[in-house]
Structure 1
């Protein structure tokens, strides 16, 4: 990203001067244009000027917010100045710039063109009162007259302009409590829930058209299959090679090869399940054709493998069979402990480390020894998509993830975001269209859509999303408080995962706050 750095200098104080600056001394301003008019902000308020970056759109935010972007590890809100002024947006071009202001917290404003940085004598700055401009004089610090070809230059009261649209930003600095104070391991919560209920959670997936599942406590995360997998010489046939996952080498096993099934071309829906064997003694990536659902199944619906089949060595990986949909759907549950040839996996990893060099070997050994402590510095999320943006919810809050039924029972006289109800193993589940809830355009129903089921206020509630992409662990130092841009947004989107190395920004939702009290009453009525 091109960046034109501006070093701010000490300012001056006065009706038209920044705080702390002597009004009798010259002042420096950054001059820019918006919709043919010329504006200025004090150079002391400008951190830097950058080209228009790619942004992550934020639902429930004020209309003038373009979105959020990453600026060297900082989550930066980008505001469209034309929209702030009540004008029509235009597409960014080569002249478009973002002026990053320091308002106690960085915020970027989109301008049509940056003209220059100028030094102005105080006698050339006049009050904005009585001057005919397109903006209220309350939003102007003053005007600069006779600025050559630029004509009248309006000095913006940037802080007041931003606060007028984003009132919560004025309270943002210092208002964030430690959001992690009461946080506990998501997987620990899931294990405790499994132990206390007569149910088990399973991650179901497909391999060559057959459905399998792993207990969720065996799955550390699910990530996309990278385009390049480093092959390891003399590795076992089932070992595809190794990949780098957060600077650690991860051995990758193909289930197709392991099960003696025909190979298939790599596809976008392929995933790698990062599987923990023997409580983390061995971590292996398992390549799946596609991930289907996260299921919550009664233990009574799970049968042990028939003795005749269990005695066969080529079926040793299957520990039990799950019966769903009144026995019409059978899912083979795999045992992580029985799936892998540990010597073969260890040999592949050692071969990769040897090829990578001693330094990498030492690094991997150190990280392997510290995996237990690192686990407590991470949080685990289910990541899903709406339009082009990624959202995450803590995995401990997710009851299950299921497909959208072909037919939904409509509920009359309900809010437009309530799509209807469905039957989930005998329970009536109200369904929320998350696109409608966030004010996003509707799409046609398709096979990629999923229902993420939460329990809200004691009511099981499903939220329809465009797709569920992965289950991932995110280091806590990459999770930051979300900028407070509106009351609705602040209630639902509390945090942001900023992953600059992957060029990703994930908006983290608070599942308990997805619906307000009035909306929750509607949902309870729909489920009744």
Structure 2
């Protein structure tokens, strides 16, 4: 693995210094502590040296990146951006760096959370002179540039004093929990837990599956809303499903207005976990762990144990492994629907193996219900993406009457078909329609994709009964007629509601997509 690829798989703490956002590998961060009103004086003269921090008897030199000489500063003109005396107010924090058991402090304005970038760009100079910034990457949630601090170069700066780590304790460090923008202890990332508040509940989640922390999540209503899924939010040029961990674990529900969030990495995409507030990151080295009793709550399998954090109380630990195996959340993670100008989370054609989904699915499969002349259901695993009807598309003047046109989506030309015309039922206004992107390869391989235009989206539902005698039209298997006319009646119920089940036909959109390419329809199909 290349150095850049290795760095791209690293989780970084994000810190603001002046107008710059700096990323530091969590493995190089010992702790983050509030800055005192006054730093101690050190009898040393080094670029950017502000003084020393007395941290539980350990003297730690503190640097300010914005006060370093121009060839090492983050700013183009080398100006500090701070007036004398304002570099260490209580609102700022000090990041204590640890490398080869040596300590060095770095003052920053605020903490922006953590993230794992998809890719990095190396930085350098034509003359080969060292920089304090080794790489850069773009922060998906803001589009801003993050400069990756070269921690080894920081410790190698001439004239900058460093100190040897003394008898490190494994408990929590610092003070001021709950202050906005403060993270009190980070640890090495291997045994790090993110502590959060969800309404009145305090939860802990392993940092290993955290893609990034979102400081503000604006939840919008979506047809994906069901059960613990509260809708979608914008992240990195895409609409990402948002879920409520309290509803998932049977602990109540959250008010999703002006909330924060954590993007969780699943195999096929991201899902945002809604929360009220990020509290801190801790290392679990000496944190007491207590087992949960055998309680009867619907989401007990998503609760692992209780962490007793000294001075901060008890936190319920979410069972991340069980969350990642949740059928609905896995299905939602595949629906990271990109905006037209966004960078896709997953390219068309890079679809999950349908056989794998079949093996992993439970008895009651998850279905998307929609309307195309009548309500019907399709296995959610068959739907690659859900899009609003495109504003621009090329109308095909010649060709088969059921082909609506073509549109370009994420560097792929997608043919559009009105499902209503295939079924020969009345059309609906296109501007209020949706497009279900399905693969022509039902096995989830490298087949083409087609867009099927439907009237409306209903909900994500579970099957509670299926007809053991599916309807068969008598047409040859693989034909469009068979794909449209062969179906199974089933009874479905919306997830997480008390609504009565209803009877719907289950359609096979993958079979329809396979039969449409190449298109070979000689006569209208009636139903």
Under a length normalisation based on structure 2, what TM-score does the superposition of the two structures give? 0.47
Under a length normalisation based on structure 1, what TM-score does the superposition of the two structures give? 0.47
* Structure ranking higher in helix proportion: 1
Structure number with higher relative contact order (C-alpha < 8 Å, ≥ 6 residues apart): 1
